Structure 1
């Protein structure tokens, strides 16, 4: 059991955080390692990804020694603040201070993480270990999460919108009452949580960062002195994530005849909000080219643009959704 008493300042600083591709990538490892029966809703994804990882020969040894079923995940693997851009999150992973890595490893080793030679090497040489972890995480992300990220991100952002409405209508009492059955919120501003580590009660002036995850029951970081307390809770509508119809093999043909192939391709990649950099990586177009096309699409009312911190996120409008849906209905020629 963990008890966190939020000060008045902590309540004011409690936030709903952005969807995080790094967090989802790391947490999905636990789903991948668990029996399919434990996460039956993810069965289509689990079976597909296990085969892909095996066929591509991706070495997940160090990552799976840190992310184990039934145990909390060391906070340095997904350090806040969270952003929707994987390249930025990987850079932050590589830059975690060595002392933070050692503190987290010592805590988790003390409470049940099995000691291994690779974890000992990570503790002795955190910089090299973080570089290896970031490379492994990126390779795994490309195979397991990135192809599904538009769908995942839409689910996560939909959940954030729902929780924001709960917070607006009923405050933290309503929000915490609906996050998970393992959580309870008392009128004395204390959040109680059935956490697997026996930790002392704490008072938080920094608040709690809350964010949804498609791959978790519930987990979080309430132990690190380097980051504010965070809590990841299960997103809604997980059952619908993998039960989606497959589009026509060539959905871009009809739309490309009107807009040009590059602009049609960019619209097809905007199933969920994305930045110019993300779209450039996905489409293999230059960043400048993507920016020019997005500007034209924005002026035509086919995409929206909104700022999220340092990044501008682009998304399709209802008009472009209708156009793309029409393209998907066309038979390939």
Structure 2
């Protein structure tokens, strides 16, 4: 069990960051032969296993998959909020040799002569470069095509969590954050195979939404100032190759609005872009945009711009419509 005590200052410094590399790491574990991935990941896992089996460049990743669960951070650096995996891989390549050797000595005592560990002691720079190349080969073969969809999912999650924190406070932020997490103010507890305790003010908290968190849950400890914790992003059904069938004919909301508009409306539990909704439903962005325009004209959804993106969310009217005709508990959704 990991216990993280969070005081007011620590909570105020809490951040949310994207990390394609952390997602890649968790997906490695989900693709292991003995795992049975859930529905959204089934077809993807077939391709990922093929890449790991047939591409010799990925061999350096075996240490991450088969080695001890507690590993040094240089093998999976602390997220910096980059949306490019290449940026994170550059961090691995630039790891100082002293940091590599210290991490191996701390996390792999007695295993220094293991054939997958010894290279990090003999030639840290070359070993880190080989690891980065292995990550990249796996990324290109197993995840690169999915990344546009994955990026929208985690970016949407960041926005939803940030707005939840700003409008409803820390209790709402941690609600549903992680199936194996429990928030009992002022302590966040994480169910893990190791025991650790962090007092208030020791480190700030960094939350990392992942599409492949089903593979494993991560928390980073080597940084003396930051404690990073991963959690599952919503909308992973967007990874499926074919959209699910539409609502049944008995669906009153679908009868009233049409099945397309009803399905769009149901996605708006939190702010989403047109592209984000299209990914989830397997529809063309132009089709979703047309539905959203009609719904906005009817004051069922509202739109607001954040940077270059336009986000849609339910109005009070939209929430009431869903509650009355679909029986969905959305009357207290984030506004």
Residues 317 and 163 from structure 1, CA distance in 2 versus in 1: closer, same or farther, beyond 3 angstroms? closer
Shift of 1:143: 1.2
Whether the 8 Å contact between 2:33 and 2:49 is mirrored in structure 1 is no
Whether the 8 Å contact between 1:155 and 1:235 is mirrored in structure 2 is yes
Matched, 1:12 2:12: yes
Q: Which moves more between the two structures, 82-91 or 148-157?
A: 82-91
Q: Which moves more between the two structures, 212-221 or 113-122?
A: 113-122
> Paired residues, what number?
252
Shift of 1:34: 4.9
Shift of 1:106: 4.0
SS at match of 2:169: helix
Whether the 8 Å contact between 2:57 and 2:137 is mirrored in structure 1 is no
SS at match of 2:218: strand
Shift of 1:132: 0.8
Shift of 1:198: 2.5
> Which residue number in structure 2 is paired with residue 94 of structure 1?
93
Shift of 1:102: 3.6
Q: How far apart, in 1, do the equivalents of 2:102 and 2:41 lie?
A: 33
> Which residue number in structure 2 is paired with residue 82 of structure 1?
81
> Which residue number in structure 2 is paired with residue 122 of structure 1?
120
Q: How far apart, in 2, do the equivalents of 1:152 and 1:170 lie?
A: 26
Residues 198 and 78 from structure 1, CA distance in 2 versus in 1: closer, same or farther, beyond 3 angstroms? same
Q: How far apart, in 2, do the equivalents of 1:193 and 1:175 lie?
A: 15
Matched, 1:167 2:165: yes
Which structure 2 residue ranges, 5 or more long, are not aligned? 244-273, 277-304, 313-335
Shift of 1:78: 2.9
> Which residue number in structure 2 is paired with residue 134 of structure 1?
132
Q: Which moves more between the two structures, 144-153 or 118-127?
A: 118-127
1:171-250 correspondence runs (5 A): 171-187=169-185, 189-217=186-214, 219-225=217-223, 228-244=226-242
Whether the 8 Å contact between 2:211 and 2:233 is mirrored in structure 1 is yes
> Which residue number in structure 1 is paired with residue 69 of structure 2?
71
Shift of 1:239: 2.7
Q: Which moves more between the two structures, 139-148 or 235-244?
A: 235-244
RMSD (CA atoms): 3.2
> Which residue number in structure 1 is paired with residue 147 of structure 2?
149
Whether the 8 Å contact between 1:66 and 1:74 is mirrored in structure 2 is no
Whether the 8 Å contact between 1:177 and 1:183 is mirrored in structure 2 is no
Whether the 8 Å contact between 2:220 and 2:227 is mirrored in structure 1 is yes
Shift of 1:240: 3.0
Q: How far apart, in 1, do the equivalents of 2:197 and 2:228 lie?
A: 16
1:236-315 correspondence runs (5 A): 236-244=234-242, 306=307
Shift of 1:201: 3.8
